[in-house]
Amino acid sequence: MHTAHRHRLQTTALSLVSVGLLCLGTGCPAQPPPPPSTAQAGPTVAVAPAPASRPVPSPHVALPPHAPMTQQELPTTDGPIAFDNLEGSLLSLQKFAQTRPTDAVIQLRIVQLLCARAQFRGTLADYQRAAAQVEHAFRVAPKAAHSFVARARVRAVFHDFVGAEKDLAAAEKLDPELGASIAASRLSLQVAQGQDEPALAAYRELRKKAPDILTTGAEAALLADRGELAAADELFIAAQGHFRDVSPFPVAWLYFQHGLMWERAGRLSRAEELYAAAVSRLPGYAAATSHWAAVLSARGAKEQARTLLQALTQSADDPEYKAQLAALLQDQGRPEEAKPLIAEAQRRYTELLAAHRPAFLSHAARFYLGIGGQPAMAHKLAEENLKAIHTTEAQLLVIEAASAGPATARACALADVVRQKPGLSDPARIILSRAYSACGQPSHAAAILSPTAERPASPQGPVPAPLPPPT
C-alpha cells in the first residue's frame, strides 16, 4: 500500500530482504527449488532467465559520489524482465507447492512474492491473495514455524503489529534457527510503529558488520525522518556502493526512498530526478510513479503527470491513484472526468476500512481531507490512526485534518507538541503554521516559518520555500 505521504513500512528494507528480491534478477538459478534441509531458510526461488539477446553486465563496484547512478555505472536487469522473473518465480513455486502440499517453506515464499508484487505494482488484491495463502498454510502445516512467519508478514501489512509479534515469537520458539530473519522482522515492526531509536541503532550495527544496499538505505530513510538530511543523503549515496547483484528492485527502492526525503524537504527538482530514476530502473513501480507524477504536477508539468497516472490506474487497484488522478483532473478544469474516479475511490476506501481498518486509516483520512471533501471524517480517521501509530507523520495528519474542520484547538495543542521536535521539514512547518492561523495564533504561525527557525541540515544549500504537499 502506497500513499502520497510515506508509509513507514516502506521505510524498512525488510519486505525486500524477506522476499529475496536480490535473487529476482538474471543471476539466480532457473531450476525448481530443491527440497529444504532443516538448516535451510527455504527453497531457492526459481527464476526465468533473461533472453540471451539481452545479457546483463556485472555490477559496477566503483562508487562515484552521486545519486542516482546511471545504468552504465550501476548495471541492473531490465525492469520488465525483472517483473517477468518475479511472475515466473511465483508461478514456479505455486506449481511446486502442488507436489509438496504440506511444505510451509514454499507457502512462505509464495506469500513473500505476492507481497512483493503488491508493493511494487500497487495491487492490493495481492495482499488479499497472500492472506488467503496464509490460511492455506495453517491448514496444511499448522505447527510449522514458517507458517507463523508468513502470517506475521501479512499481519504487519495490515497493521496488526501485536499479532505479528506474537507470530514471530511462536516461530522463534518452534525453530530457533530462524533467529536472524525473525530479528529482521522485529526491526521492521519497530520502524512501522515509530520506534526509531532502537531501529536506528540496529541498522547502524548492521552497517558496521555487513553493509548492504537495503539496510544502509533503511538507515538513511530513518535519518531522513528525523530531519538529519545531510547524514541521510550521504548514506543514500553510499548505499549504492553496497549493491552486489543485478536486480533492479533494491536500486529502484533506494531511489524512491531518497526521492521521498527531498520531496518532503521541498526540493522538488531533486525528488523528480530520483523518482524518474526509480521508474527508469523499474517501469511500473507504482509508488515511485505516483510520487513522480505529484512532483511533476506541482512543478507545472500536469499533462505528463496525467499520462503517468492514467497508465497507473489501469495497472494498480489502490484507490489512492484514482483519487490522485481525480484531483489532477479537477485542477485542470475537467471535473466531469474526475467524478467517477472520486466515487470509485470512496467506494473502495469504504470496503478497505471495513476489511482492514488499521491499515487504511491514514490513507482514507488523506482522501477525505483532499479530493473526498469530508474534513470531519478525515479528522476522525486521523485520530484513530494516531492511537495506533505514534509517529510525527501521524501527528501531522491529525493537525492537518483538525485545522480543516472545527477542531482547531486540537490542531494547535498538537502543533505545540510537534514543533518541539528537531529537524522539522518545511512542509511540516507549513502544516503547523496553518494550524496556528486557524486557531487564531498568528504570532506562532509566523514564528514557525521564520528564517531564524531551526532547519534540518542540508548538504546542498538552503532549502527553498516548498509548495504544499500534493494531495
pLDDT digits (tens, 9 = 90+) for 256-278: 999 999 999 999 999 999 999 99
pLDDT of residue 226: 86
pLDDT of residue 76: 97
* Phi-psi sector, 284: left (phi>0), alpha (psi -120 to 50), beta: left
pLDDT of residue 455: 52
Three-class SS state of 50: coil
Residue length, the chain?
471
**Residue 120 · residue 283 · CB < 8 Å:** no
Cβ within 8 Å of residue 134, ≥6 positions away = 107, 111, 147, 150, 151, 154
pLDDT of residue 68: 97
Query: From CA 212, how far away is CA 104, in angstroms rounded?
Result: 28
The three cell numbers of residue 362 are 491514514
Q: Distance between alpha carbon 69 and the CA centroid of its chain, in Å?
A: 21
pLDDT of residue 38: 28
pLDDT of residue 117: 98
pLDDT per position as a tens digit, 342-369? 999 999 999 999 999 999 999 999 999 9
The three cell numbers of residue 306 are 496525467
pLDDT of residue 298: 96
pLDDT of residue 64: 57
Q: What angle do CA 276, 282, 287 make, to 5 degrees?
A: 70
Phi–psi pair at 344, nearest 5 degrees = -65, -40
Closest CA to 152 of 171, 180, 176, 177: 171
Query: Structure pTM?
Result: 0.85
What is the 3 state secondary structure string of 235-259? HHHHHHHHCCCCCHHHHHHHHHHHH
**Residue 45 · residue 82 · CB < 8 Å:** no
Place of cell 486540537: 410
pLDDT of residue 51: 34
The three cell numbers of residue 15 are 519486505
- The widest CA-to-CA distance across the chain, in whole angstroms, is 70
pLDDT per position as a tens digit, 110-128? 999 999 999 999 999 999 9
pLDDT of residue 52: 33
**Residue 33 · residue 106 · CB < 8 Å:** yes
pLDDT of residue 451: 76
Place of cell 518475479: 86
**Residue 76 · residue 12 · CB < 8 Å:** no
Query: From CA 108, how far away is CA 85, in angstroms rounded?
Result: 18
Low-confidence stretches of the chain (pLDDT < 50) are: 1-9, 11-61, 457-471
Counting Cβ atoms within 10 Å, is residue 7 exposed (0-12), middle (13-18) or buried (19+)? middle
